[in-house]
Amino acid sequence: MPTRAAHTKTRNGCLRCKQRRVKCDEGQPCRDCHRRNEFCNLVTDPRYVASFHNGSSASPSSFTAEATSIRQLSTASPVASPRQQDNQFSSFSTVQSAVLSSVPSTEWAEDLHLMAHWTIATCQTLHRQPHVATLFQKTAPELALELPSMMHMMLSLSALHLAYLRPSEHKKYTTISMRHHHSATQQFQGTIQNITKDNFLPIFLTSSLLSVSSLANINVTAHSLSLDDIIAVFIMTRGTRDILTPAHDRLNDPVLYHLLEPLMERNTLNTNEDHEIPYELAERLKLLRTDLLEKHTYDYDSSKETCLHALRELEDVFLTVVHLPTEDGESLGTDYRKRIDLELGVLMKWQTGVSTTYVNLLKQRRVAPLVLLVHWVMLFRHLGKRWFLDGWIETAFRLVRDALEKRDRHWLLWSEEYVKN
């Protein structure tokens, strides 16, 4: 009876072969994954990984062909003369040169430069609290390894920051930023459909960066702006709160709560306390409700209900501006106009909370939603000087003024005075 050939098990096979329960040849990539044109986790070459995950222009097959050539060289006859060995290494060097020549080395160098600038400079400009800056400096890059859209968003912001700091290289860095911003938004749309405990934190941080990036794109990029560019900020980030709110129970996790508490506490007013809105603001809100909305909104098209909701949301932001304690724990009270220590998240609550109908009314250039928009924009003065907001208030005011008929522009005077004083 002939002896049965011994069955050899593969101990280091790839994950896909294990899932399919087929024998893996342990190649890099393995033969089965290469044949199916599927990602093989045995390959550590970042260019190969990028070709599957980041939409690289280089195809996976080009990397697998190169890897196959290298593998064939490595399995050559072990018995060889010194001269033959020299020839083998010479062949390997030739293949290696071919591999390296196909790498977009300039892009890799640019991305490394952008990440270095992110950790040294850009992340420090996003929040005044040092521990929050540390969150973006140390934790965010590690999380971004698992969420490519977050990595692209960080690199996009870093490039915009460099474009702002280096006017002579403005075009170069805005072009790089737009490339990463496009990749980030495309990939993020798919990610937010499946929020889990493991990805909640990077998704939350990515949504925060998306708000900053959308504003920075308006002010740093040098294209001719229109009101549609302002509205696009709402479209990009309006649904963030609706998406994340059902998943906020994730914050019960001690690790997540510890990381996000510093970021949340500077944006949230204590709702257990009674807060009164100052007389000046109360009168202005009353005028908007009884005069503006009565004249320029209607029940038949839901515009009145939509703008009333936006006005209530705006009132909540006003209360936060007035009563949110300073870093010293003090309340400014009647001196609220002097404050310049707010964080962006305070104001973005309104932007992400208005309805889709409100955004559509903005697109139609309706008077009431445009006036409410200006009353939100004026509050950006309380954020102080930020590079990604440079000129933002003036630009938004000008675009809204141009969109309104001359007879309706008087609604802007109070907001313009608020900003100046």
CA–CA gap between residue 286 and residue 264 (Å, rounded): 30
Encoded tokens for 303: 């515009």
Domain boundaries, the chain: 15-75+89-101, 106-260, 266-420
**Whether residue 141 has a cis bond before it, omega within 30° of 0:** no
CA–CA gap between residue 35 and residue 52 (Å, rounded): 15
Give me the sign of the Cα torsion angle 232, 234, 237, 240. Answer: negative
- H-type alpha helices, 121-169: 130-134, 140-144, 148-165
Biggest alpha carbon distance in the chain?
104
CA–CA gap between residue 184 and residue 37 (Å, rounded): 25
Asked if pLDDT for residue 327 goes beyond 50, the answer is yes
Determine the Cα angle at 317 with ends 283 and 322, to 5°: 70
Q: What is the pTM of this model?
A: 0.69
Which residues, including other chains, have CB under 8 Å from residue 91's CB and lie 6 or more apart? Answer: 73
Q: Tell me which residue of 91, 92, 42, 90 sits closest to 64, measured CA to CA.
A: 42
Supply the DSSP symbol for 412.
G
Q: Which amino acid is at 163?
A: A
pLDDT, residue 50, reads: 53
Average pLDDT, the chain: 78
- Average pLDDT value for residue range 109-132: 90
Asked if pLDDT for residue 162 goes beyond 80, the answer is yes
Q: Which of 106-115, 221-230, 242-251, 293-302 has the highest mean pLDDT?
A: 293-302
**49-62 pLDDT, tens per residue?**
555 544 444 444 44
pLDDT, residue 51, reads: 58
Q: Which stretch of 21-30, 187-196, 217-226 has the lowest confidence by average pLDDT?
A: 217-226
Asked if pLDDT for residue 164 goes beyond 80, the answer is yes
Q: What's the full length of the chain, in residues? A: 421
Instruction: Give the position of tokens 């939603």.
Output: 369
- Which SS3 state, helix, strand or coil, does residue 408 take? helix
CA–CA gap between residue 179 and residue 213 (Å, rounded): 13
**230-274 pLDDT, tens per residue?**
888 777 666 555 555 555 555 555 555 555 555 555 566 666 667
CA–CA gap between residue 1 and residue 139 (Å, rounded): 63
pLDDT, residue 83, reads: 46
Q: Phi and psi of 101, rounded to 5°? A: -70, -20
